[in-house]
Amino acid sequence: MKTVGIFNDTSTSGHFGCTAVMNTLVSELERRQIKPAYLWPVGLDWQPYTAKLEQAEPDMIIVNGEGTIHHSTERKRTRDLLAVAPYAKSQGKPAHLVNASITALDASAIEALRAFDTIHVRESESRQYLAEHKIEAQIVPDLSLGISAPKPAETRDGIIVTDSVYRDTAQGLKNFSDLANANFVKMKKRLPFQARLISKIQRNIQGSPASTKWRPRSDVEAFVRDLAGKELLVTGRFHSVLLSILTDTPFIALPSNTRKIEAVLHDALISGSRLISPNDLLSQKFLAETRRGIPFTSDELEALASYRTNAKISRSAMFDLIADSVL
């Protein structure tokens, strides 16, 4: 069996969308007889631990670019992950960047990207950005679409509201949920103290934050089942939008910290009609619209079905390519 070093295991945050992404990533690799040599957690600098990581001797390296490859001048996390590619090259290991949205990189970050053997981005705006820098990339929609969708609800009822990466927008969404008598859910659950303590003890024993076996930290299946029974989602979260696309749940979205939501809406629906600004959120007009319902049109449902089909095809091709990078 081949082995892989996976960087940026975002599921350690407890975020529902990140759990879905990592579930797909690990399971698709396992189907191709590839198991993790290690999984490096989100937000931690791996470079002080290179000697420890090299002991695992992975056959290849994968970087989960989710939520990370942007604004490299201000974000050390971006620079740390991009440094993986030149490092992998120095070790003679193929390196693959997957599930990325990419924008606003400085010259050194762009140069580091060139060391990846393959780059797969989540939407067309990122591919266009890279093309402007003469870097080739393929589009594979977000890996959260790879988890199993629940059986469609016979009847949908109620509104679900999820939060935002922006504190003010998250508060606005909470205020809207109160006015609309809607269920408000934070996408990122704080892990219990005991789980955090166990993780810290394990790191001290192992001498490294890396793990060798993936486990979910949040119940994304329960969240998706709940979502699939709702008439409408209102959200500022990218992965809430993707899981709505997975379950054919009508949604209204607010912008996030990059244009990733706008880009996905363009790719999936060729429209920004389901995007509003934070200023619209508490307007009487929007509240009245949500009370009447904002269902998908037949054209939207057809477009989303096509988007999911294309995502499945491109996802399979990407993992086949990764598997074939090591004989």
What CATH number corresponds to the domain at position 124? 3.40.50.2300
Q: Are residues 135 and 173 in the same domain?
A: no
Is 151 inside any structural domain?
A: no
CATH number of 166's domain = 3.40.50
Is 153 inside any structural domain?
A: no
What's the pLDDT score for residue 139?
98
Number of domains in the chain: 2
Is 215 inside any structural domain?
A: yes
What's the pLDDT score for residue 154?
87
**HSE-CB of 238 using CA atoms within 13 angstroms:** 29
**Domain range for 225:** 159-304
Q: Are residues 64 and 50 in the same domain?
A: yes
| CA 269 to each of CA 107, 116, 264: distance values in angstroms, whole numbers, following the listed order | 33, 30, 8
What's the pLDDT score for residue 151?
87
Average pLDDT over residues 276-289: 95
> Model confidence over 111-156: pLDDT tens digits?
999 999 999 999 999 999 999 999 999 999 999 999 999 988 889 9
What's the pLDDT score for residue 153?
84
Is 154 inside any structural domain?
A: no
Strands 159-164 and 232-236: parallel
What's the pLDDT score for residue 206?
64
Q: What is the DSSP string of 262-276?
A: HHHHHHHHS--TTB-
> Model confidence over 166-181: pLDDT tens digits?
999 999 999 999 999 9
SS3 for 55? coil
Q: Are residues 55 and 182 in the same domain?
A: no
**Res 195 pLDDT > 70:** no
What's the pLDDT score for residue 194?
63
Q: Are residues 125 and 166 in the same domain?
A: no
Q: Are residues 214 and 101 in the same domain?
A: no
> Model confidence over 302-324: pLDDT tens digits?
999 999 999 999 999 999 999 99
**Res 13 pLDDT > 70:** yes
How many residues are present in the chain?
327
Average pLDDT over residues 279-307: 96
Q: Are residues 136 and 209 in the same domain?
A: no
Is 255 inside any structural domain?
A: yes
Q: Are residues 108 and 243 in the same domain?
A: no
Is 152 inside any structural domain?
A: no
Q: Are residues 117 and 217 in the same domain?
A: no
Of the candidates 208, 212, 7, the one whose C-alpha atom is nearest the C-alpha of residue 95 is: 7
What's the pLDDT score for residue 83?
98
Report residue 162's pLDDT band, with 50, 70 and 90 as the boundaries.
very high
Q: Are residues 68 and 195 in the same domain?
A: no
Whole-number Å distance between alpha carbons of 105 and 113: 10
Average pLDDT over residues 221-242: 98
SS3 for 62? strand
What's the pLDDT score for residue 327?
86
Report residue 103's pLDDT band, with 50, 70 and 90 as the boundaries.
very high
Whole-number Å distance between alpha carbons of 83 and 95: 11
Q: Are residues 175 and 128 in the same domain?
A: no
Higher pLDDT: 67 or 93? It is 93
Is 45 inside any structural domain?
A: yes
pTM for the full predicted model: 0.95
Contact predicate 97/65, CB 8 Å: yes
**Res 236 pLDDT > 80:** yes
Is 85 inside any structural domain?
A: yes
Q: Are residues 171 and 110 in the same domain?
A: no
Q: Are residues 220 and 137 in the same domain?
A: no
